[in-house]
Protein backbone atom coordinates (compact mmCIF):
# COMPACT_ATOMS: atom_id res chain seq x y z
CA UNK A 1 0.00 0.00 0.00
CA UNK A 2 1.07 3.57 -0.69
CA UNK A 3 -0.39 6.74 0.78
CA UNK A 4 0.19 10.44 0.31
CA UNK A 5 1.20 12.40 3.36
CA UNK A 6 -1.89 14.55 2.92
CA UNK A 7 -4.08 11.44 3.14
CA UNK A 8 -2.21 10.21 6.22
CA UNK A 9 -2.73 13.55 7.98
CA UNK A 10 -6.40 13.52 6.98
CA UNK A 11 -6.79 10.08 8.59
CA UNK A 12 -4.55 10.42 11.65
CA UNK A 13 -4.15 14.14 12.31
CA UNK A 14 -0.88 15.98 12.71
CA UNK A 15 0.48 18.82 10.58
CA UNK A 16 2.00 18.43 7.12
CA UNK A 17 5.04 20.61 6.48
CA UNK A 18 6.93 20.67 3.20
CA UNK A 19 5.84 19.15 -0.07
CA UNK A 20 3.28 16.37 -0.21
CA UNK A 21 4.58 13.02 -1.43
CA UNK A 22 3.63 9.35 -1.60
CA UNK A 23 5.23 6.91 0.84
CA UNK A 24 5.23 3.15 0.35
CA UNK A 25 5.99 1.98 3.87
CA UNK A 26 7.44 2.76 7.28
CA UNK A 27 11.14 2.11 7.76
CA UNK A 28 13.86 2.50 10.41
CA UNK A 29 15.44 5.94 10.51
CA UNK A 30 18.93 4.70 9.61
CA UNK A 31 17.88 2.63 6.57
CA UNK A 32 14.80 4.42 5.18
CA UNK A 33 14.75 5.20 1.45
CA UNK A 34 13.38 8.19 -0.45
CA UNK A 35 9.89 6.66 -0.81
CA UNK A 36 9.65 5.67 2.87
CA UNK A 37 8.69 7.41 6.12
CA UNK A 38 10.46 7.16 9.48
CA UNK A 39 9.85 8.65 12.91
CA UNK A 40 12.05 10.51 15.38
CA UNK A 41 10.85 10.12 18.96
CA UNK A 42 13.72 11.83 20.82
CA UNK A 43 16.22 14.65 20.29
CA UNK A 44 19.02 12.17 20.98
CA UNK A 45 18.45 10.83 17.45
CA UNK A 46 19.05 14.26 15.94
CA UNK A 47 22.23 13.21 14.13
CA UNK A 48 20.59 10.13 12.61
CA UNK A 49 17.63 12.25 11.56
CA UNK A 50 19.81 14.69 9.68
CA UNK A 51 21.68 11.87 7.94
CA UNK A 52 18.60 9.79 7.13
CA UNK A 53 17.63 9.06 3.54
CA UNK A 54 13.92 8.92 4.43
CA UNK A 55 11.69 10.89 2.11
CA UNK A 56 9.45 11.90 5.02
CA UNK A 57 9.75 12.07 8.80
CA UNK A 58 7.36 12.10 11.73
CA UNK A 59 8.80 14.58 14.24
CA UNK A 60 7.93 16.86 17.12
CA UNK A 61 7.48 20.58 16.54
CA UNK A 62 10.88 21.26 18.12
CA UNK A 63 12.70 18.85 15.79
CA UNK A 64 10.80 20.12 12.75
CA UNK A 65 12.88 23.29 12.84
CA UNK A 66 16.01 21.16 12.29
CA UNK A 67 14.62 19.12 9.38
CA UNK A 68 14.63 21.57 6.50
CA UNK A 69 14.37 20.10 3.03
CA UNK A 70 12.29 17.08 4.03
CA UNK A 71 8.58 16.44 4.01
CA UNK A 72 7.39 16.28 7.60
CA UNK A 73 4.41 15.22 9.66
CA UNK A 74 4.56 17.12 12.94
CA UNK A 75 2.96 15.25 15.85
CA UNK A 76 2.92 15.70 19.62
CA UNK A 77 4.00 12.07 20.11
CA UNK A 78 5.84 10.68 17.06
CA UNK A 79 6.06 7.18 18.54
CA UNK A 80 2.30 6.96 19.04
CA UNK A 81 1.75 8.43 15.58
CA UNK A 82 4.07 5.77 14.15
CA UNK A 83 2.02 3.05 15.87
CA UNK A 84 -1.19 4.39 14.35
CA UNK A 85 0.41 4.74 10.93
CA UNK A 86 1.67 1.16 11.13
CA UNK A 87 -1.92 0.08 11.72
CA UNK A 88 -3.01 2.07 8.67
CA UNK A 89 -0.39 0.30 6.53
CA UNK A 90 -1.12 -3.11 8.09
CA UNK A 91 -4.79 -3.26 9.12
CA UNK A 92 -5.94 -6.29 11.13
CA UNK A 93 -7.04 -9.18 8.98
CA UNK A 94 -10.79 -9.58 8.76
CA UNK A 95 -12.28 -13.00 9.51
CA UNK A 96 -13.47 -15.37 6.82
CA UNK A 97 -16.97 -15.80 8.10
CA UNK A 98 -18.04 -19.36 8.70
CA UNK A 99 -17.01 -22.66 10.26
CA UNK A 100 -14.46 -24.72 8.34
CA UNK A 101 -15.55 -28.28 7.50
CA UNK A 102 -12.57 -29.66 9.43
CA UNK A 103 -13.39 -27.72 12.59
CA UNK A 104 -15.10 -29.55 15.46
CA UNK A 105 -17.98 -27.75 17.18
CA UNK A 106 -19.82 -29.18 20.19
CA UNK A 107 -23.47 -29.08 21.11
CA UNK A 108 -25.62 -26.04 21.89
CA UNK A 109 -23.01 -23.49 20.75
CA UNK A 110 -23.88 -19.97 19.62
CA UNK A 111 -21.31 -18.73 17.13
CA UNK A 112 -21.96 -15.45 15.29
CA UNK A 113 -22.26 -15.82 11.52
CA UNK A 114 -19.56 -13.14 11.03
CA UNK A 115 -16.94 -15.12 12.95
CA UNK A 116 -14.38 -17.56 11.59
CA UNK A 117 -13.65 -21.00 13.03
CA UNK A 118 -10.67 -22.34 11.09
CA UNK A 119 -9.61 -25.86 10.20
CA UNK A 120 -8.71 -28.14 13.12
CA UNK A 121 -10.08 -25.75 15.71
CA UNK A 122 -12.09 -27.48 18.44
CA UNK A 123 -15.03 -25.83 20.19
CA UNK A 124 -16.63 -27.48 23.23
CA UNK A 125 -20.27 -27.60 24.27
CA UNK A 126 -22.39 -24.54 25.10
CA UNK A 127 -19.75 -22.07 23.88
CA UNK A 128 -20.76 -18.52 22.94
CA UNK A 129 -18.62 -16.67 20.36
CA UNK A 130 -19.45 -13.08 19.41
CA UNK A 131 -19.16 -11.12 16.16
CA UNK A 132 -16.11 -10.97 13.86
CA UNK A 133 -13.95 -13.34 15.89
CA UNK A 134 -11.10 -15.41 14.45
CA UNK A 135 -10.58 -18.84 15.99
CA UNK A 136 -7.46 -19.94 14.13
CA UNK A 137 -6.20 -23.45 13.29
CA UNK A 138 -5.58 -25.74 16.23
CA UNK A 139 -7.17 -23.44 18.80
CA UNK A 140 -9.21 -25.17 21.51
CA UNK A 141 -12.12 -23.55 23.37
CA UNK A 142 -13.48 -25.58 26.28
CA UNK A 143 -17.06 -26.11 27.37
CA UNK A 144 -19.14 -23.17 28.61
CA UNK A 145 -16.71 -20.45 27.54
CA UNK A 146 -18.05 -17.05 26.56
CA UNK A 147 -16.07 -15.01 24.01
CA UNK A 148 -16.96 -11.42 23.07
CA UNK A 149 -16.71 -9.56 19.76
CA UNK A 150 -13.59 -9.04 17.60
CA UNK A 151 -11.51 -11.62 19.48
CA UNK A 152 -8.55 -13.39 17.87
CA UNK A 153 -7.32 -16.72 19.20
CA UNK A 154 -4.12 -17.49 17.30
CA UNK A 155 -3.07 -21.04 16.32
CA UNK A 156 -2.82 -23.60 19.12
CA UNK A 157 -4.25 -21.41 21.86
CA UNK A 158 -6.11 -23.33 24.57
CA UNK A 159 -8.98 -21.77 26.53
CA UNK A 160 -10.10 -24.08 29.32
CA UNK A 161 -13.73 -24.59 30.31
CA UNK A 162 -15.82 -21.77 31.73
CA UNK A 163 -13.48 -18.88 30.97
CA UNK A 164 -14.75 -15.43 29.98
CA UNK A 165 -13.09 -13.42 27.20
CA UNK A 166 -14.14 -9.80 26.58
CA UNK A 167 -14.23 -7.76 23.36
CA UNK A 168 -11.17 -7.07 21.17
CA UNK A 169 -8.98 -9.54 23.03
CA UNK A 170 -5.97 -11.19 21.36
CA UNK A 171 -4.36 -14.39 22.65
CA UNK A 172 -1.20 -15.46 20.82
CA UNK A 173 -0.04 -18.92 19.84
CA UNK A 174 0.72 -21.52 22.47
CA UNK A 175 -0.89 -19.68 25.37
CA UNK A 176 -3.04 -21.51 27.89
CA UNK A 177 -5.87 -19.64 29.58
CA UNK A 178 -7.55 -21.35 32.52
CA UNK A 179 -5.21 -24.23 33.32
CA UNK A 180 -5.30 -25.43 36.93
CA UNK A 181 -3.60 -23.30 39.53
CA UNK A 182 -0.82 -24.86 41.61
CA UNK A 183 -2.99 -25.81 44.58
CA UNK A 184 -1.76 -28.66 46.76
CA UNK A 185 -2.16 -29.79 50.37
CA UNK A 186 0.35 -32.08 52.09
CA UNK A 187 -1.28 -35.31 53.27
CA UNK A 188 1.19 -37.20 55.49
CA UNK A 189 3.38 -38.60 52.71
CA UNK A 190 2.02 -37.14 49.47
CA UNK A 191 0.45 -34.08 47.89
CA UNK A 192 -3.35 -33.87 47.65
CA UNK A 193 -4.53 -31.81 44.67
CA UNK A 194 -6.98 -29.00 45.49
CA UNK A 195 -9.70 -28.60 42.85
CA UNK A 196 -9.43 -25.27 41.05
CA UNK A 197 -13.05 -24.18 40.67
CA UNK A 198 -12.67 -20.53 39.65
CA UNK A 199 -12.31 -19.16 36.13
CA UNK A 200 -10.09 -16.79 34.16
CA UNK A 201 -11.69 -13.52 33.09
CA UNK A 202 -9.96 -11.45 30.41
CA UNK A 203 -11.71 -8.09 30.11
CA UNK A 204 -11.98 -5.92 26.99
CA UNK A 205 -8.85 -5.00 24.99
CA UNK A 206 -6.52 -7.40 26.81
CA UNK A 207 -3.66 -8.91 24.82
CA UNK A 208 -1.83 -12.08 25.86
CA UNK A 209 1.55 -12.90 24.29
CA UNK A 210 2.75 -16.27 23.00
CA UNK A 211 3.30 -19.20 25.38
CA UNK A 212 1.92 -17.35 28.36
CA UNK A 213 -0.11 -19.17 31.02
CA UNK A 214 -2.94 -17.72 33.07
CA UNK A 215 -4.17 -20.15 35.74
CA UNK A 216 -7.80 -20.36 36.79
CA UNK A 217 -8.73 -19.36 40.32
CA UNK A 218 -8.95 -21.82 43.17
CA UNK A 219 -12.29 -20.48 44.46
CA UNK A 220 -12.62 -16.99 42.95
CA UNK A 221 -11.58 -15.89 39.45
CA UNK A 222 -8.20 -14.89 38.10
CA UNK A 223 -8.90 -11.51 36.48
CA UNK A 224 -6.96 -9.43 33.97
CA UNK A 225 -8.62 -6.04 33.73
CA UNK A 226 -9.44 -3.89 30.73
CA UNK A 227 -6.59 -2.90 28.42
CA UNK A 228 -3.84 -4.86 30.19
CA UNK A 229 -1.02 -6.11 27.94
CA UNK A 230 0.88 -9.29 28.80
CA UNK A 231 4.03 -10.29 26.91
CA UNK A 232 5.33 -13.75 25.97
CA UNK A 233 6.32 -16.46 28.47
CA UNK A 234 4.60 -14.92 31.49
CA UNK A 235 3.23 -17.10 34.31
CA UNK A 236 0.16 -15.74 36.09
CA UNK A 237 -0.95 -17.96 38.96
CA UNK A 238 -4.38 -18.59 40.44
CA UNK A 239 -6.44 -15.77 41.97
CA UNK A 240 -4.13 -13.08 40.61
CA UNK A 241 -5.70 -9.76 39.64
CA UNK A 242 -4.00 -7.39 37.19
CA UNK A 243 -5.33 -3.85 36.92
CA UNK A 244 -6.47 -1.86 33.91
CA UNK A 245 -3.86 -0.88 31.30
CA UNK A 246 -0.98 -2.54 33.14
CA UNK A 247 1.82 -3.78 30.87
CA UNK A 248 3.92 -6.82 31.82
CA UNK A 249 7.04 -7.79 29.85
CA UNK A 250 8.29 -11.30 29.06
CA UNK A 251 9.36 -14.00 31.52
CA UNK A 252 7.62 -12.44 34.53
CA UNK A 253 6.29 -14.81 37.19
CA UNK A 254 3.41 -13.82 39.46
CA UNK A 255 2.55 -16.12 42.36
CA UNK A 256 -0.97 -16.79 43.57
CA UNK A 257 -3.40 -14.21 44.99
CA UNK A 258 -1.18 -11.25 44.13
CA UNK A 259 -2.95 -8.04 43.08
CA UNK A 260 -1.17 -5.64 40.73
CA UNK A 261 -2.79 -2.24 40.31
CA UNK A 262 -3.82 -0.20 37.29
CA UNK A 263 -1.40 1.46 34.85
CA UNK A 264 1.65 -0.33 36.22
CA UNK A 265 4.62 -1.48 34.16
CA UNK A 266 6.65 -4.58 34.96
CA UNK A 267 10.04 -5.21 33.38
CA UNK A 268 11.13 -8.58 32.01
CA UNK A 269 11.93 -11.46 34.36
CA UNK A 270 10.54 -9.70 37.45
CA UNK A 271 9.17 -12.08 40.09
CA UNK A 272 6.32 -11.57 42.57
CA UNK A 273 5.72 -13.63 45.70
CA UNK A 274 2.13 -14.53 46.50
CA UNK A 275 -0.53 -12.71 48.53
CA UNK A 276 0.84 -9.19 48.08
CA UNK A 277 -0.58 -6.00 46.59
CA UNK A 278 1.06 -3.46 44.29
CA UNK A 279 -0.27 0.11 44.13
CA UNK A 280 -1.59 1.73 40.96
CA UNK A 281 1.00 3.40 38.69
CA UNK A 282 3.92 1.42 40.09
CA UNK A 283 6.88 0.67 37.82
CA UNK A 284 8.97 -2.44 38.45
CA UNK A 285 12.42 -2.78 36.87
CA UNK A 286 13.49 -5.88 34.98
CA UNK A 287 14.75 -8.77 37.08
CA UNK A 288 13.32 -7.36 40.30
CA UNK A 289 12.12 -9.65 43.09
CA UNK A 290 8.97 -8.15 44.63
CA UNK A 291 8.86 -9.84 48.03
CA UNK A 292 6.39 -7.59 49.85
CA UNK A 293 3.45 -5.30 49.11
CA UNK A 294 4.08 -1.92 47.53
CA UNK A 295 1.67 0.62 48.94
CA UNK A 296 3.03 3.82 47.36
CA UNK A 297 3.32 4.37 43.62
CA UNK A 298 6.85 4.85 42.31
CA UNK A 299 9.70 3.12 40.51
CA UNK A 300 11.23 0.07 42.19
CA UNK A 301 14.17 -2.15 41.26
CA UNK A 302 16.43 -4.66 42.96
CA UNK A 303 18.67 -5.90 40.16
CA UNK A 304 22.34 -6.33 41.05
CA UNK A 305 24.59 -4.35 38.65
CA UNK A 306 26.48 -6.33 36.03
CA UNK A 307 30.19 -6.78 36.73
CA UNK A 308 33.06 -9.02 35.76
CA UNK A 309 33.22 -12.50 37.25
CA UNK A 310 36.43 -11.56 39.09
CA UNK A 311 34.76 -8.57 40.78
CA UNK A 312 31.65 -10.58 41.57
CA UNK A 313 33.66 -13.32 43.28
CA UNK A 314 35.59 -10.74 45.30
CA UNK A 315 32.40 -9.03 46.42
CA UNK A 316 30.66 -12.34 47.14
CA UNK A 317 33.32 -13.18 49.75
CA UNK A 318 32.44 -10.02 51.66
CA UNK A 319 28.70 -10.52 51.23
CA UNK A 320 28.96 -13.91 52.94
CA UNK A 321 30.46 -12.22 56.01
CA UNK A 322 28.18 -9.17 56.22
CA UNK A 323 26.54 -10.41 59.42
CA UNK A 324 29.94 -10.85 61.09
CA UNK A 325 30.99 -7.38 59.92
CA UNK A 326 27.79 -5.88 61.35
CA UNK A 327 28.39 -7.52 64.73
CA UNK A 328 32.00 -6.31 64.79
CA UNK A 329 30.93 -2.75 63.94
CA UNK A 330 28.38 -2.77 66.78
CA UNK A 331 31.02 -4.06 69.18
CA UNK A 332 33.43 -1.31 68.10
CA UNK A 333 30.68 1.29 68.57
CA UNK A 334 30.08 0.06 72.12
CA UNK A 335 33.79 0.16 72.89
CA UNK A 336 34.10 3.68 71.49
CA UNK A 337 31.12 4.84 73.53
CA UNK A 338 32.68 3.35 76.69
CA UNK A 339 35.99 5.08 75.90
CA UNK A 340 34.25 8.39 75.27
CA UNK A 341 32.41 8.21 78.60
CA UNK A 342 35.58 7.37 80.48
CA UNK A 343 37.30 10.47 79.07
CA UNK A 344 34.36 12.68 80.03
CA UNK A 345 34.32 11.49 83.68
CA UNK A 346 36.28 13.72 86.13
CA UNK A 347 39.51 12.25 87.51
CA UNK A 348 40.37 12.46 91.22
Residues with active-site annotation: 238
Q: What share of the chain is helix, strand, coil (3-state, %, to 5)?
A: 20, 25, 55
| C-beta separation of 116 from 152 below 8 A | no
The rounded distance, in Å, linking the Cα atoms of 146 and 108 is 13
Q: Any alpha helices (H) in the chain, and if so which ranges?
A: 5-12, 46-51, 61-64, 78-89, 309-320, 322-344
The rounded distance, in Å, linking the Cα atoms of 318 and 339 is 29
Cβ-based burial of 262 (10 A; exposed 0-12, middle 13-18, buried ≥19): middle
**Strand 140-141 to strand 122-123: parallel, antiparallel, or no bridges (unpaired)?**
parallel
Count Cα atoms within 13 angstroms, Cβ side, for 288.
Answer: 18
Amino acid sequence: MSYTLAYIVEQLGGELRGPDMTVSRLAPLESAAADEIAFVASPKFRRQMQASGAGALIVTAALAEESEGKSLIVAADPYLYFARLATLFHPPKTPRAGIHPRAVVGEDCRIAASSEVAANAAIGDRVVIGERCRIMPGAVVGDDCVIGDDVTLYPNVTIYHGCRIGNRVGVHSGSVIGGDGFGLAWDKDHWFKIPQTGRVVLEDDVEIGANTTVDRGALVDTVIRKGAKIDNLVQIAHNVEIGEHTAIAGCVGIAGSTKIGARCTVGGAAMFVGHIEVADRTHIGGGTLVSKSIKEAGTYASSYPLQSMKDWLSNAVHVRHLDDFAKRVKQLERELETLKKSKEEPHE
